Amino acid sequence: MEKSLIYVYCILESPAKSSKTIEFNGLNSMMIDDFQVVFKSVCLNEFSEENFKRNLSDLLWIETNAREHVEVIKWLMEENSVIPFKFGTIYYSENTLRKFIEDYSDSLKENFSEISGKEEWAVKIYCDRKSLSEQIDELSEEAAELEKQIMASSPGRGFLLKRKKNEFVETEMTRICNKFGQEYYDEFRKLSTAKYLNNLLPKDYTGREDSMILNASFLVNKNMVNDFMNKGDILMKRDSNSGFSIEINGPWPAFSFISIKENSNAE
């Protein structure tokens, strides 16, 4: 009989505050110290280190399994505080899993204290530079002043000033995008308990024509989520005519805010 591996989804606080039946669709759970570990048994031919690396080249396999991983965790999040494990976390035996929990128990408790009653929300801000350029005179005193000089100049001087303004506008739009991005970040930060800046994603990844100017995750108290979403609506109504758009989605497992460190007395 082929040896099975332990694929871990997440850890729940014990006792689990859930009316859900975890043991469904191949899922199992076990108590280790003060924690409930949710896992499933998987086969070597799919999840051994070598085979897992091979499967990572199969986009359909990744999409199917990664989606299932997140959906299980989100389902458990509805009634529990959850420490999510990364997609593809495998233990070769119950003993190695138990040792991990025992060696990192203090940090796990600290992380539960940090995320309890909170959710991770993702905020992405985009800017349509064409729309922004059409509003540049309203947003930039320097651009507005150059436009006045152009209007008051002779054709020859006006041509040179237009070229100067075009060059200036590109730099000025970048400055304005940075300014607005920081302002959005600060507004959402006020409504969260922790924040995490992610890398900006290029257009060929987002599939959008506009440019991403902020990609951040925020840890938000559940009783503040409505305020958090309303802030996005307010900012969107205020700035959409200038080419800015806001994308908020969640709640997500708190991957961005989990930091697990070994116990100081672990051997």
Tokens encoding 180: 């607005």
Reported as a single tens digit per residue, the pLDDT across 127-156 is 988 888 776 666 666 666 656 665 656 666
pTM, 2 dp: 0.82
User: Rounded distance, CA 75 to CA 18, Å?
Assistant: 10
**Residues 219, 123: Cα–Cα separation, whole Å:** 11
- pLDDT by position in tens, the chain (length 267): 467 899 999 999 866 665 556 665 678 888 998 899 999 988 887 887 888 888 888 889 889 999 999 999 999 888 888 999 999 999 999 999 999 999 999 999 999 999 999 999 999 999 988 888 776 666 666 666 656 665 656 666 656 556 666 666 678 888 888 999 999 999 999 999 999 999 999 999 999 989 999 999 999 999 999 999 999 999 999 888 888 999 999 999 999 999 888 766 555
Residue 19 C-beta-side C-alpha neighbours within 13 Å = 0
Torsion, Cα of 221, 65, 85, 48 (10° steps): 180
- Laid out side by side, the sheet with 194-197 consists of 194-197, 211-221, 118-127, 244-252
Residue with tokens 């999510």: 84
Distance CA 93, CA 46 (A): 16
Contact indicator for 228, 218 with CB cutoff of 8 Å: yes
Structure tokens given for 93:
């035996």
